[in-house]
Amino acid sequence: MKKIVLSFMAIMTLGFIVAQTPEEKGLEIAKAAEKADTGFKSSTVNIKMTLKNKNGQTSERLLTTKTFELTADGDKSLIVFNSPRDVKGTATLTFTHKKGSDDQWLFLPSIKRVKRISSNNKSGPFVGSEFAYEDLSSQEVEKYAYKFVAEKGNLLLVEQDPVDPKSGYTRRLVTYNKDKGYRIEKVEFYDRKNSLLKTLIYSDYNVYKGKFWRAGTFNMVNHQTNKETKLEFNDYNFEINLTEEDFSQVALKRAGK
């Protein structure tokens, strides 16, 4: 009788696995990725941004990013440009939210004012780059509806549809590496007409504190304008103790001076 009961339970479990919908599996993968990256608390990193126009001409910018992890809500981040002179002191503060629109502010040193970025402008280019303001937000599970698309070896492809109706994207196709902490390898962005707009490639990964995977390079290609933006990350620091006071509008003004 015991063997019969166990066989019945095995069949029921197998039936549950088979019955898992693409939406359920996509959500499951997104939650696994979020769990794998939980617990870093705070970090800073230096970034070199290289802009390439459609003619292949390039220009460089140097910036610093601070990130503060929150579990009850989305993360907070502060980006400050250090050079060249025309953008030096420009700073962006982002409060990501699990639900609802994110809060973002831009400090412009030329007028010494903080400007709130409206939800209608989140799809606009971030300081002339191929990254949009909404791309600066942390990856929160609640911000998308999910659908598993395919599995190729250790890579999992998941469609993510933004919940926010003001998003500049109809969907994103995200490639996760399940053998490397569910880190993201590639994201394809589709515009409001559902045409491929941009592709972001993550590369040169390193693991920090024995758990947290961080790409050394982001390369964003805009297929519609033939422009590119490359971000190169250096000197990650996970030992710095940041607080929420480091991510206020006062801190935003101070960082830009």
pLDDT band at 10 (very low <50, low <70, confident <90, very high): low
What number of other Cβ atoms are within 10 A of residue 219's Cβ? Answer: 18
Could you report the per-residue pLDDT of 183-225, keeping only the tens digit for each?
999 999 999 999 999 999 999 999 999 999 999 999 999 999 9
Q: For residue 39, give the amino acid letter.
A: G
Structure tokens that stand for 74 in this block: 């989305």
Could you report the per-residue pLDDT of 62-81, keeping only the tens digit for each?
999 999 999 999 999 999 99
Among 11-15, 152-156, 165-169, the least confident range: 11-15
What is the Cα–Cα distance from 181 to 213, expressed in whole angstroms?
7
What is the Cα–Cα distance from 92 to 34, expressed in whole angstroms?
24
Question: Which pLDDT score, from 0 to 100, does residue 9 have?
Answer: 54
CB 54 within 8 A of CB 227: yes
**pTM assigned to the model:** 0.90
CA distances from 202 to 58, 77, 82, 116 (A): 20, 20, 24, 30
Q: What's the whole-number mean pLDDT along residues 241-249?
A: 93
Q: For residue 152, give the amino acid letter.
A: K
Q: Which residue has 């002339």 as its token pair?
A: 128
Q: Is the pLDDT of residue 1 over 80?
A: no
CB 94 within 8 A of CB 74: no
CB 217 within 8 A of CB 206: no
CA distances from 195 to 147, 190, 236 (A): 18, 5, 35
Find residue 68's DSSP bridge partners.
42, 76
CA distances from 123 to 48, 129, 224 (A): 22, 12, 15
Cα 24 off chain centre by = 22
Q: Is the pLDDT of residue 16 over 60?
A: no
CB-based contacts of 30, cutoff 8 Å, min separation 6? 141, 144, 146, 158, 160
Set out the domains of the chain in order of their start, with CATH numbers. 22-256 (2.50.20.10)
Phi, psi (rounded to 5 degrees) for 37: -105, 10
| Arithmetic mean of pLDDT over the chain | 92
Could you report the per-residue pLDDT of 17-50, keeping only the tens digit for each?
457 899 999 999 999 999 999 999 999 999 999 9
Upper half-sphere CA count for residue 111 (Cβ side, 13 Å)? 6
